Amino acid sequence: MHLRPLLTGDAELLADWGADPVFCAHAGWNADASWRERVAWARRDLPDDLLRRAALVGADVVGYVDLHGAGERRELGYVVGGRDRWGQGLGHAVAFAGLEWGFGSLGLAEIWAEAIDANVPSVRILERLGMRETGRGGDATFLGRNSFYRVFTLTATEFAP
Ligand SMILES: CC(C)(COP(=O)(O)OP(=O)(O)OC[C@H]1O[C@@H](n2cnc3c(N)ncnc32)[C@H](O)[C@@H]1OP(=O)(O)O)[C@@H](O)C(=O)NCCC(=O)NCCS
């Protein structure tokens, strides 16, 4: 698993992932968007406080990871696509690569993340990364079910003792 900046040509791939309504429901993407709208969304300039890297196995883009926020404390986000790649350990690997990127290259002091309680794989990824659960976030819905966010955090010292 390695990370690199997203390239313009990655946008079509992300748009393909979004053609799957189940993927969209899990990822919180708009399933009603057209393929062209999704390409444009993937190609848009990201805000200054949102850093995104494509995650690759060999030459294949298998997901992406986000670090969002300003300063030395940022929020981790992770996506694996397409859906046929789920359940093979890639989610854990993408999120772990995000921690290495954040604490290593970026020199962050703390990385936090939140996962919807009903999104079992997402919660499991944060737990297995050794992130500390710090509390309950706001209400959320996941696949039509009422749920809530669980908030986790990890400091650079905890990541690399
Ligand atoms: C959440 C997501 C990243 C998981 O990716 P993945 O490649 O399937 O994750 P992994 O294969 O590494 O599995 C992670 C853990 O969940 C478990 N798991 C996977 N699918 C599961 C399921 N359907 N039910 C219960 N547990 C499941 C795995 O066994 C693993 O646990 P383990 O480490 O104890 O074995 C992926 O579903 C995704 O991209 N979803 C949309 C975006 C999203 O929800 N991102 C998270 C919020 S930022």
CATH (one of 3.40.630.30, 3.40.1010.10, 3.10.20.30, 2.60.120.1440) for 2-159: 3.40.630.30
Which residue has its alpha carbon closest to ligand 1 atom 18?
121
DSSP assignments along 53-91, one per residue: EEEEETTEEEEEEEEESSTTEEEEEEEE-SGGGTTSSHH
Nearest to 149 by CA among 111, 110, 118: 118
Give the ligand 1 atom nearest the CA of 87: 11
Q: What is the pTM of this model?
A: 0.96
Using one digit for the tens of pLDDT, what is the confidence trace for 16-31?
Answer: 999 999 999 999 999 9
Q: How far apart are CA 41 and CA 117, in angstroms?
A: 27
Mean pLDDT over the full length of the chain: 96
Pocket of ligand 1, beta carbon within 6 A = 26-27, 77-80, 86-92, 115, 119-122, 124-125, 128
Q: 47, 57 in Cβ contact below 8 A?
A: no
Enumerate the domain spans of the chain: 2-159
Residue to substitute in 52, 125, 129, 143 for testing ligand 1 pocket (most ligand atoms within 8 angstroms of CB): 125
Residue with tokens 């819905």: 141
Residue with tokens 């708009």: 30
- Centre of ligand 1 from the C-alpha of residue 125, in Å: 7
Using one digit for the tens of pLDDT, what is the confidence trace for 91-135?
Answer: 999 999 999 999 999 999 999 999 999 999 999 999 999 999 999
